[in-house]
């Protein structure tokens, strides 16, 4: 046994005994029972030296690629000064980051609160919606993914994750995705907010019809209900605009961010809102909502560098152009295999391919890993393989992914043969 094999065996045993035995069994079946060792740009290298093109991007956090030098440098510089906040004095990186977010955010989202993850950002958004309106209820969409802490999970639209932890936080209802009239019908005098992902990510990369979000905004404004845009996955260039709501000229009252905000180096989340909401929530008690780690100097330095890189390297435009190229390729593959692939869809570099059967999709994922491409299905829709590579991916790398995807389908067809004819 080589040294790398011995270490891998040891890690697998530790997963079995101390982490999550079922998870490691699944990783083995999927061909992911390798130790990730280092990463740079679009490429992840395992302990054995195998290289993989990262088309999952850590569920969308690696928009800048792995270890972008400018983010790494900013973090190293800050590390030598002060990594975490004393929580007493003024914090310059935090002030700079909130000001920068206000500058680039759509509409009048002038204030920001910094936290450490997507689900925390959603929790905060839900809390301030309640406090600012004095109402309790929230409308979310079927298939939505907003996180797995209790408040966010109550908004998440899949029973599989909700049911074992019932009862959920009261006041949440779910209406069909992409159906503005259903939102209008569900609003009551107790409704504080509607929460929606501009493009559903874990729901299977669902792009709404062009009139959906403008209509939802119009309904919310007319009925005095707050609109929360959950841009945790879509934000910061992923869909070809800095924020996905910009595709439809929508300006939410509250917006959540995380994932790419940390530049692929630090965990950073945020929720933003208008001055009017902020005044109602924080005026009397500035500590009504707090986080010990949130807004630490190291995280803020990473996020500031990430925003700079996103703008200077024009990542939203690159996502739009290369995403269109990638989607064209996926559509060609779909057209060649209509009995296996139902649809290829997406916006920017947030792409998905829906299989006719989730088991075929899993098989294809496994064969893609063996050929050096990291792929995965969406959490709330296992029929859909998502492609969410770093926004710096090149056309040559996209071509390589498309070739591997085609080869994966050929493998699956050869294995399943008559079963899928
Ligand atoms: C739209 C959206 N909101 C919230 C979350 C939760 O983020 P986290 O996993 O960082 O808690 C996710 C995660 O995938 C997401 O896609």
Q: Percent of the chain scored above 70 by pLDDT? A: 99
Identify the H or E element spanning 222. Answer: helix 212-223
| pLDDT level of residue 380 (50, 70, 90 thresholds) | confident
Q: What is the pLDDT of residue 313?
A: 98
The residues facing 344 across adjacent strands are 353
**Pairing outcome for strands 137-141 and 191-196:** parallel
Domain limits, CATH 3.40.640.10, in the chain: 69-312
Q: What is the pLDDT of residue 29?
A: 86
Best of 61, 120, 143, 146 to mutate for ligand 1, by most ligand atoms within 8 A of CB?
146
Range 336-346 average pLDDT: 96
The alpha carbon of 165 and the centre of ligand 1 are apart by a number of angstroms equal to 18
Q: What is the pLDDT of residues 63-99, one digit of tens each?
A: 999 999 999 999 999 999 999 999 999 999 999 999 9
Quote the DSSP letter at residue 15. Answer: I
Q: What is the pLDDT of residues 185-233, one digit of tens each?
A: 999 999 999 999 999 999 999 999 999 999 999 999 999 999 999 999 9
Domain limits, CATH 3.90.1150.10, in the chain: 34-64+314-420
Handedness of CA 275, 286, 81, 119 (dihedral sign): negative
Range 289-310 average pLDDT: 98
- Residue 220 to residue 223: CA distance in whole angstroms: 5
| Topology classification of domain 34-64+314-420 | 3.90.1150
Q: Which atom of ligand 1 is nearest to the CA of 258?
A: 10
Name the closest-CA residue to atom 13, ligand 1: 147
Q: Which is nearest to 198 in space by CA: 218, 176, 213, 209?
A: 213
- Residue 143 to residue 306: CA distance in whole angstroms: 29
Taking phi over 0 as left and psi of -120 to 50 as alpha, with beta for the rest, 391 belongs to alpha
Q: Which is nearest to 340 in space by CA: 374, 308, 363?
A: 363
- Residue 262 to residue 62: CA distance in whole angstroms: 9
Taking phi over 0 as left and psi of -120 to 50 as alpha, with beta for the rest, 134 belongs to left
Name the closest-CA residue to atom 4, ligand 1: 146
Q: What is the pLDDT of residues 134-188, one digit of tens each?
A: 999 999 999 999 999 999 999 999 999 999 999 999 999 999 999 999 999 999 9
Q: Which is nearest to 216 in space by CA: 247, 238, 239, 193?
A: 193
Q: What is the pLDDT of residue 416?
A: 82
Architecture of domain 69-312: 3-Layer(aba) Sandwich (3.40)
Q: What is the pLDDT of residue 421?
A: 54
- Residue 376 to residue 280: CA distance in whole angstroms: 42
pTM of this prediction?
0.97
The alpha carbon of 146 and the centre of ligand 1 are apart by a number of angstroms equal to 5
Q: What is the pLDDT of residue 358?
A: 87
Q: What is the pLDDT of residues 225-261, one digit of tens each?
A: 999 999 999 999 999 999 999 999 999 999 999 999 9
Residues making up the chain, counted from first to last? 421
Name the closest-CA residue to atom 8, ligand 1: 118
């Amino acid at each position: 046994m080589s040294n790398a094999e011995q270490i891998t065996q040891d890690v697998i045993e530790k997963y079995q005994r101390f982490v999550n035995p079922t998870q490691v069994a699944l990783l083995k079946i999927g061909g992911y029972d390798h130790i990730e060792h280092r990463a740079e740009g679009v490429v992840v290298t395992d302990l054995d030296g195998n290289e993989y093109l990262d088309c999952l991007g850590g569920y969308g956090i690696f928009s800048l690629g792995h270890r972008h030098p400018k983010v790494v440098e900013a973090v190293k510089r800050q590390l030598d000064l002060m990594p975490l906040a004393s929580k007493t004095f003024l914090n310059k990186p935090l002030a700079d980051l909130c000001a920068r977010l206000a500058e680039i955010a759509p509409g009048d989202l002038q204030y920001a609160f910094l936290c450490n993850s997507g689900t925390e950002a959603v929790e905060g958004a839900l809390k301030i919606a309640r406090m600012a309106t004095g109402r309790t209820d929230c409308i979310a969409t079927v298939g939505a993914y907003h996180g797995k802490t209790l408040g966010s999970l109550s908004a998440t639209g899949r029973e599989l994750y909700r049911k074992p932890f019932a009862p959920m936080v009261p006041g949440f209802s779910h209406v069909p995705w992409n159906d503005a009239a259903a939102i209008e019908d569900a609003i009551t005098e107790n409704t504080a907010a509607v929460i929606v992902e501009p493009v559903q990510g874990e729901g299977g990369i669902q792009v709404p019809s062009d009139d959906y979000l403008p209509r939802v905004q119009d309904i919310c404004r007319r009925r005095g209900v707050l609109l929360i845009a959950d841009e945790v996955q879509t934000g910061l260039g992923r869909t070809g605009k800095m924020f996905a709501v910009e595709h439809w000229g929508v300006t939410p009252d509250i917006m959540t961010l995380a994932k790419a905000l940390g530049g692929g180096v630090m965990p950073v989340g945020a929720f933003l809102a208008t001055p009017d909401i902020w005044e109602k929530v924080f005026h009397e008690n500035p500590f009504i909502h707090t986080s010990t780690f949130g807004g630490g100097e190291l995280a803020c330095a990473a996020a500031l560098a990430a925003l700079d890189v996103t703008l200077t390297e024009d990542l939203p435009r690159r996502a739009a152009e290369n995403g269109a190229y990638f989607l064209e390729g996926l559509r060609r593959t779909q057209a060649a295999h209509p009995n296996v692939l139902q649809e290829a869809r997406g916006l920017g570099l947030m792409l998905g391919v829906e299989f006719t059967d989730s088991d075929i999709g899993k098989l294809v994922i496994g064969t893609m890993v063996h050929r050096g491409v990291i792929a995965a299905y969406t959490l709330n829709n296992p029929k859909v393989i998502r492609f969410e590579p770093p926004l710096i991916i090149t056309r040559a790398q996209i071509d390589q992914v498309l070739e591997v995807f085609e080869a994966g389908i050929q493998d699956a067809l050869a294995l399943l043969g008559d079963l899928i004819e």
